[in-house]
A = this chain, B = another copy of it.
């Protein structure tokens, strides 16, 4: 949780190294603030070493003599000038009785202090939060300062290093701050007249839009404390003169301006956004008010930090009721299904930086580079392509990835239908080819991908549905029971019951066992007859089977009976292969495309949905989680028999599709880092615990059917009157509102859950770092509301969100 107050300007002070004058210059700022008749808060969360203690002592004495203005506070203190990683056992002082803080409790302690301080005054005030050591010095809990303080996202003053080597230390520290996205408002450093670092740093940072202020260096330390105090006092009077002029006051004015500009910018952003931005999937005629614009100032973990100045109204902005203008907001849609590891994960940032620094972008056709090659190998050999894929083709998003998949499948079909490709033979292009899919499918927004779906509200003027879509049986949990809902045509063949209870969730997804059931026979018969009828009257030849396995996301979080999809694949593959067989392991019947853009890479708790269905596709598409929720990238994988359809000695036979940034190193490197981090998660204690709740045995051979959501919570809300149906797998929770058939244009889910968007305080320790309260951002698809987690959302936060969903739905059920 980040903080921003109109009346209280807060800055954290980071040092480019130890002993660069952090406390001294902070003290100078404090004096200047006090001289400007501001109330001043000086927070030194951790105090290390006797030297700093002396400075600190000085501040205290000064604070004592300016009692009305300056408050100082230390939360954790230890006396030896050792690295904090050694000091954890030495914690004493004001927090003597408390255990060594975790990152979470450390941040919370600071947050509490900030909140309390903000309430104390209504007059303009300044707060300086002084960190310990250099930017990357360890915190007591073992992370480094930069990462530890990150949830608070406070504007930063960097104290530069004026000594030999200090240019390097200052720039490097700045870059480490930048890698965490911190707003650095200014750099202060001493004017060492010998090394003259400021001479270099001033223009260097001016180029980067950053103000460097240099200040006279302090006198040498004197061994006698009182003399030292007197000398220091004299020095302060010199750099913080009664005239209120000079560097420190320049810096102070600059910091005040930065604060004012930030407030003004945040305040202006809603209007400017409404005036300039054309949002995707938003009817601007329905979003006219500034308070409807979600101004995201930063993000961390699973929460946004959002500006609330508009929703609170202008009146509260002008008064100082002591509440922050930034709220924590749980990112309940995982930022449109992309998030896997939380926002601004430092490892992903560094991966992006590493690839940008080594390559920038380099052109890919006929070229290669390590990030792309490693990613392709990983995906094909040990990722979702394992067991069937031979090639990886990169593009920019799920939609383009699906266009590539469609081009692959159509060509493979056309080549085989033409009797296999002969040398130099132009493959006749067949516009009347169509795909077989399921009603409710959605494969992306480009026109070709849309043509693989039925006409609907999403489709544009050029849309032409190219295929046939079967109405599938779906799965939901109602009143604690897993239910399969059969569409009319299938229900009639199954004996008339439109609803079937297949057992537990695990039993429902045990496709292998269910293949032996009567229902499987019903499905098979239905599909076979449907396909025969299509062949008789179809104006299009079906050329590919295109599925979103397990869940059709954008179509409304439709959980399809996996048995139906499995039987569908089996039937399609067992139909006679047209044209002659090409040698090698080949696709049979029709090429099968799995659109795993949404469902893949553990979004549903499994790496690939193939493990649930028990069959492999011939072509698959992954995106979204692929890059950990940082940058766009898609991969289309294909089996060798698909690849061979394009292989010849004629350029024109090649897959002539490619975007300029195809396989750009930044995207590929971020994906590699993501896959590595995700792999670690799969064996984490958190996952094991969730899995055991869903009764997944650790050594289970069958695919794990489990969820990060608690089974009791799911059971409970499925029994609420207002809820028609619930479903969950992996990170996804889908809630269908009862008695609503309004589809995409319905607002029932939006209406019933509306209050969950309000900021609500948390009892006990907040699950949001630095929290106390948070709101929930979520999205609906008509009558369906869904909530989506990252793969590493903390169990505490999930429990808290569950609690809030339950309370909201329960209230609506009354």
Please measure, in the bound complex, the distance between the C-alpha atom of A433 and the C-alpha atom of B361, giving whole angstroms. 38
Q: Which of A362, A400, A629, A651 has the most CB of B within 10 A?
A: A362
Q: Does A56 contact B (CB under 8 A)?
A: no
| A431 contacts B464, C-beta separation under 8 Å | yes
Task: Return the contact of A172 from the options B135, B272, B372, B459 (Cβ within 8 A).
Answer: B135
What residues of B have a CB within 8 angstroms of the CB of A304 in the complex?
362
Closest 4 CB pairs of A and B: A280-B658, A181-B358, A447-B448, A134-B168
Task: Return the contact of A358 from the options B278, B298, B745 (Cβ within 8 A).
Answer: B298
Q: Please, could you name 23 A-B residue pairs with CB atoms under 8 Å apart, sorted by A?
A: A17-B165, A17-B168, A19-B164, A85-B167, A144-B167, A169-B172, A265-B370, A269-B373, A273-B368, A276-B377, A278-B393, A282-B366, A283-B649, A285-B648, A285-B653, A296-B367, A299-B359, A335-B360, A343-B359, A397-B397, A448-B448, A623-B660, A632-B632
Q: Which of A169, A343, A429, A664 has the most CB of B within 10 A?
A: A169
Please measure, in the bound complex, the distance between the C-alpha atom of A433 and the C-alpha atom of B460, giving whole angstroms. 11
Q: Does A178 contact B (CB under 8 A)?
A: yes
Q: Does A573 contact B (CB under 8 A)?
A: no
| A660 contacts B448, C-beta separation under 8 Å | no
Instruction: Evaluate whether A410 and B462 lie within 8 angstroms (CB atoms) in the complex, with A164-B83, A344-B356, A353-B349 already known.
Output: yes
Instruction: Evaluate whether A649 and B165 lie within 8 angstroms (CB atoms) in the complex, with A631-B666, A660-B624 already known.
Output: no
Task: Return the contact of A171 from the options B136, B365, B643 (Cβ within 8 A).
Answer: B136
Q: Does A286 contact B (CB under 8 A)?
A: yes
Q: Does A380 contact B (CB under 8 A)?
A: yes
| B280 contacts A393, C-beta separation under 8 Å | yes
What residues of B have a CB within 8 angstroms of the CB of A457 in the complex?
651-652, 656
| A366 contacts B294, C-beta separation under 8 Å | yes
Given contacts A281-B365, A304-B362, 13 further A-B contacts (CB under 8 A): A83-B196, A175-B176, A175-B353, A179-B179, A180-B357, A277-B391, A280-B659, A280-B662, A283-B653, A333-B363, A336-B662, A396-B400, A631-B667
Task: Return the contact of A462 from the options B172, B208, B359, B448 (Cβ within 8 A).
Answer: B448
List residues 370-402 of chain A with CB under 8 A from any CB of chain B. Answer: 370, 372-373, 376-377, 380, 390-394, 396-400
Please measure, in the bound complex, the distance between the C-alpha atom of A762 and the C-alpha atom of B81, giving whole angstroms. 57
Q: Which of A173, A265, A281, A652 has the most CB of B within 10 A?
A: A281
Q: How far is the CB of A642 from chain B (nearest CB, A)?
A: 9
Residues 61-91 of chain A, each 1 if its beta carbon lies under 8 Å from chain B, else 0 = 0000000000000000000011101100000
Bin chain A's interface residue count. 35 or more
What residues of B have a CB within 8 angstroms of the CB of A368 in the complex?
269-270, 273, 277, 293-296
Q: Which of A165, A194, A377, A664 has the most CB of B within 10 A?
A: A165
What residues of B have a CB within 8 angstroms of the CB of A189 in the complex?
none
Residues 632-651 of chain A, each 1 if its beta carbon lies under 8 Å from chain B, else 0 = 10000010000100111111
Task: Return the contact of A359 from the options B83, B181, B365, B433 (Cβ within 8 A).
Answer: B181
Please measure, in the bound complex, the distance between the C-alpha atom of A652 and the C-alpha atom of B461, giving whole angstroms. 13
